[in-house]
Amino acid sequence: MILTPHAWAHGGHTVARTDQGRVVFVRHADVGEQVRVRLTEHQPEAKFWRGDAVEVLTGSEHRREHHPWAAADAVLCASDGAQPVGGAELGHLSVSRQRQIKTQVLHELLGGIGGLRPEELEDLQPIVTSLPYEDPLGLQWRTRAHFAVNDDGVIAMHPHRSDHLVAVDDFPLMVPALRNLNLAQADLRGVVRVDVAAPSGEAGPLVLVTPPSAGDADLPERLQAGLVSHLQSVSPEASLVLGPAEGVRGEPAVLMRRGHTQERVGDLTWTVSAGGFWQIHRQAPSTLLPRISQAAGLEPGQTVLDLYSGAGLFTAALAQTVGESGRVVAVEGSPVTSADAAATFAELPHVDVERGEVERSLARIWPERVRAPRGRHGARSQGTQGSGGTRRRRSGSELRSSGNGKRPAVASPDVVVLDPPRAGAGKAVVDAIHALQPQRVVYLSCDPATLARDLARFRHHGWQIRSISGLDMYPNTHHLETLVTLTR
């Protein structure tokens, strides 16, 4: 059908209506364009339909002449009878237009779900800006990426909301070190997923391959004969790691060089294991560190709580600011990433690394302030660890320190820094943070919708938003990063 979108919605969709008034979420279009739409979801009883713009009848002034990635170009793919892959859903528009759209979406979500009045948004003026040294086309920024592998052993990606696999020969959003791996030319039969990482340190990229859940006893030998040889020819400094089977816990096997990357910002370094979390934009760590430090406004001797702390990117800067007379408590649920952080800060006795779900961890450390979450049968949970942690009781005074010995009981934090996943913090965690009564909260979000929801909860408790700024850390996609500072 032919449609003319009239608005943008979060998630990379424009919004259009049929002549009968049915809402259709259209990808790969812009507001005001007249486009031919191929419906991808159109159940008669559905409240709305979905579709892709496959022909542009009247184009936007912001539409690029050429999409930077053919595999994600809906119009080009339609001419070949194929579906576009996800991963660059705004690539048909100029980078400046993309940031206009993200700023608009951020405003609408903050004013809708977040409940901010127009005059409040006017005062805060949240604008999405680029990171330093950005590529003019928004390419070559990803230092991390993952691919599925099809039955022919070729790297592949999924179209939007589809289980179908489309083989790809490149991914131009990746930094050159990852593109130069030429994984599309490698034989990956027997593998279901490939993760790649390019460290900021001097070592070469790391490739992590995941076998299917059934396992394959001959896979390591085949990888040695095929993939190792391929990597040695295209990137001699690369590392190769064979992870545990899909859905199975286990130790990875290093088949080539090392099982981790070394990350560096200034004089700070971090070790990140294969599969561990690290910011994916090449400029994100160096951009975020000073911004988080400034927003936190910490002084020597203060206590700061770093939630969803990952490998400790912000933990390191916060620890430098508060000094040995202060204290940093870092909470991370991933066993792999938490172990990385514990190793990184092992020689800093004023840094405590706590592994577990955030709400449960806060209830263990400050039981007098934070209520423990209920278990499956309604009983209060007593120290059970989330995300693969050990099951043991531990009071706040027994909080595990990354240094030697045990630390005394932890004072309530002066500042809380949190960087949750796209699901956001949620009601329980926001309520727990409020119960701790810090002076300031610094919230870094990768999803404006869940951020708006959480900010509404903070405001319900009487918190005030002091600043909001957006960062286009994911060019050519609909994703954005938002940094918010709140005070009581």
Q: Average pLDDT in the 322-326 region?
A: 97
Question: Which CATH number does the domain housing residue 13 bear?
Answer: 2.40.50.140
77: annotated active-site residue: no
pLDDT surpasses 90 at 247:
no
Q: Are residues 256 and 289 in the same domain?
A: no
pLDDT surpasses 70 at 61:
yes
Averaged pLDDT score across all residues of the chain:
92
419 is in an annotated binding site: yes
pLDDT confidence bin for 72, thresholds 50/70/90: very high
Q: Are residues 149 and 203 in the same domain?
A: yes
Residue 402 has what pLDDT?
Answer: 43
332 is in an annotated binding site: yes
Last residue of a domain, one of 262, 289, 313: 262
**Domain coverage including residue 58:** 2-92
What is the distance between the alpha carbons of residues 165 and 371, in angstroms, rounded to a whole number? 45
pLDDT surpasses 70 at 398:
no
Residue 44 has what pLDDT?
Answer: 93
The 10 Å Cβ neighbour count of residue 391 is 8
55 is in an annotated binding site: no
98 is in an annotated binding site: no
Alpha helices in 198-262 (DSSP H): 219-225, 227-234
Range with the poorest average pLDDT among 281-290, 385-394, 450-459:
385-394
Q: Are residues 422 and 301 in the same domain?
A: yes
What is the distance between the alpha carbons of residues 196 and 465, in angstroms, rounded to a whole number? 37
Residue 209 has what pLDDT?
Answer: 97
pLDDT surpasses 50 at 382:
no
Range with the poorest average pLDDT among 261-270, 403-412, 416-425, 470-479:
403-412
pLDDT digits (tens, 9 = 90+) for 214-232: 778 899 999 998 999 999 9
| Residue 135 forms part of a structural domain | no
User: Which tokens belong to 336?
Assistant: 């792999």
Q: Which residues contact 321 (CB under 8 A, 6 or more apart)?
A: 293, 296, 298, 299, 300
Using left for φ > 0, alpha for ψ between -120 and 50, and beta otherwise, residue 237 falls in alpha
Q: Are residues 76 and 56 in the same domain?
A: yes
| Residue 106 forms part of a structural domain | no
Residue 411 has what pLDDT?
Answer: 87
Return the C-alpha torsion angle 92, 96, 98, 99, nearest 10. Answer: 170
Q: Are residues 255 and 281 in the same domain?
A: no
Report the domain count for the chain: 3
What is the distance between the alpha carbons of residues 53 and 8, in angstroms, rounded to a whole number? 14
Q: Are residues 65 and 156 in the same domain?
A: no
Asked if residues 199 and 261 have their Cβ atoms less than 8 Å apart, the reply is yes
| Three-point CA angle 434, 113, 459, nearest 5° | 25
pLDDT surpasses 50 at 325:
yes
| Residue 121 forms part of a structural domain | no
Q: Are residues 155 and 254 in the same domain?
A: yes
Helices 358-365 and 427-436, packing angle to 10 deg: 30
Asked if residues 401 and 428 have their Cβ atoms less than 8 Å apart, the reply is no
| Residue 361 forms part of a structural domain | yes
Residue 408 has what pLDDT?
Answer: 57
pLDDT surpasses 90 at 250:
no
Q: Are residues 267 and 256 in the same domain?
A: no
pLDDT confidence bin for 404, thresholds 50/70/90: very low
Question: Which CATH number does the domain housing residue 195 bear?
Answer: 2.40.50.1070
The 10 Å Cβ neighbour count of residue 380 is 10
pLDDT confidence bin for 375, thresholds 50/70/90: low
Choose, from 231, 292, 358, 446, the residue flagged as catalytic.
446
